[in-house]
Chain A
Amino acid sequence: MNKMLLIIFGMAIVTYIPRMLPLVFLKSNDKNKFLKRFLKLIPFTALSALIFPGIINSTGNPFSAIIGGSVAVVLAYFNINLVFVIIASISSVVLFNIF
């Protein structure tokens, strides 16, 4: 029990610190344009890395995952509301897995 508490508190600390340090302590870096560009691109590169290849194994079947992903791509391209994109993507996976 004590070992598990130690593990959890250790995990909490090493998880929180990297989350907190940049937000609380990173100074404004208007001078370093390169760093600014680098940080600006992170949302896009991070999303790409999060989507692929993780999506392939998200539904228990790579084919249904590709279908669900494609549905999301097409609908998102036409600026359909986020919630509808998600619902349509889930529905297409469920339908694919049934048939």
Chain B
Amino acid sequence: MKLLKDILKGINKGAPIGIGYIPIGISFGLIAKSFDIPGEIVVLMSLIVYAGASQFIAVSLIHEGVTVIEIVITTFIVNLRHFLMTASLSEKIKNKYNKFWLALIAFGVTDETFALISMTEKEKLNKGLILGINLIAYISWSGSTFLGLILSSSLPEAIRNGMGISLYAMFIALLIPNIKTNKTLMKITVISLLFSSLLFYIPFLGNNISSGFRIIIVIIISSLIGAYMFEEEVDNIE
């Protein structure tokens, strides 16, 4: 009963992610359909792969007739950043749940659910809340993929463009309140933003590394710098 209550709380908390996924999921369904990929394959991909950006890449590679192994390797590289995210998350929730629940929670870790879960205070986190957040995101992603397959055209452009910013607005709303009172975190954020734009805008380099790989480099380098430069300050962050 307690678990169910917590899951409902999580669904409520994760609703912004669920809504943010809708236009992306619909676009994915539509694009996959335009590439003549069978509908059941497209839905199955959202259900068992469940990783936004890499699914878009995969359907366009399938369309181009790229080999199985190349698609799988590309997917691995694009999604490898989740390794860093779940490693960080494990610090926060590791000792609380058994391996079965951790394995289940792991399946639902996306950029967005990771951001929401890791910015939630430790005391408020529990198994049900995390599962609820993951569940609503998962249902929304799979459901809107299906919606994209049966719709004949995308959402109106004005709405799609407007909603395009929703997940970024959520990232900002999760980040800012946590760093504004902490000078160390502010410095580390500035360092990360600088690295991220540097990698993106450097001629020849920016166009040639995938966004998944860029995110990995930025996370590793700036977290290393932060851990090296601000020892005590980081130890004190709760």
| Bind each other | yes
- What's the nearest-Cβ distance from chain A to residue B210, in Å? 12
From known contacts A41-B234, A42-B88, infer whether A48 and B71 are also in contact, taking CB-CB under 8 Å. Answer: no
Q: Once bound together, how far apart are the Cα atoms of A11 and B235, in whole Å?
A: 37
Partner of A37, one of B62, B72, B172, B226: B226
Q: Which 9 A-B pairs have the closest CB atoms?
A: A48-B192, A89-B169, A42-B88, A37-B227, A18-B83, A76-B176, A10-B72, A22-B87, A94-B162
Inter-chain contacts of B169 with A (CB < 8 A):
68-69, 71-72, 85-86, 89-90
Indicate if B175 sits at the interface (CB-CB under 8 A): yes
Inter-chain contacts of A51 with B (CB < 8 A):
168, 171-172, 175, 193
Q: Once bound together, how far apart are the Cα atoms of A47 and B223, in whole Å?
A: 12
Number of residues in B with C-beta < 8 Å to the partner? 99
| Residues in A lying within 8 Å of B, measured CB to CB | 1, 3-12, 14-16, 18-24, 26, 28, 33-34, 36-55, 58-61, 64-65, 68-69, 71-73, 75-77, 79-80, 82-83, 85-86, 89-91, 93-94, 97-98
What are 7 A-to-B residue pairs whose CB atoms are below 8 Å? A10-B72, A16-B106, A44-B178, A49-B219, A68-B165, A76-B175, A93-B162
Query: Number of contacts between A and B (CB, 8 Å)?
Result: 284
Indicate if B82 sits at the interface (CB-CB under 8 A): yes
From known contacts A42-B219, A44-B178, A68-B169, infer whether A33 and B105 are also in contact, taking CB-CB under 8 Å. Answer: no
- What's the nearest-Cβ distance from chain A to residue B185, in Å? 6
- What's the nearest-Cβ distance from chain B to residue A88, in Å? 8
Interface of B is mostly: helix
Q: Binary interface profile of B, 100-124, with partner A (CB < 8 Å = 1, else 0)?
A: 0011011101010011001100000
Inter-chain contacts of B214 with A (CB < 8 A):
49
Asked whether B165 lies within 8 Å of A59 as measured between CB atoms, the reply is yes
Inter-chain contacts of A65 with B (CB < 8 A):
165, 168
Inter-chain contacts of A22 with B (CB < 8 A):
83, 86-87, 89-90
Inter-chain contacts of B51 with A (CB < 8 A):
11, 15
From known contacts A10-B71, A44-B188, A59-B164, infer whether A16 and B107 are also in contact, taking CB-CB under 8 Å. Answer: yes
- What's the nearest-Cβ distance from chain B to residue A14, in Å? 4
- What's the nearest-Cβ distance from chain A to residue B121, in Å? 13
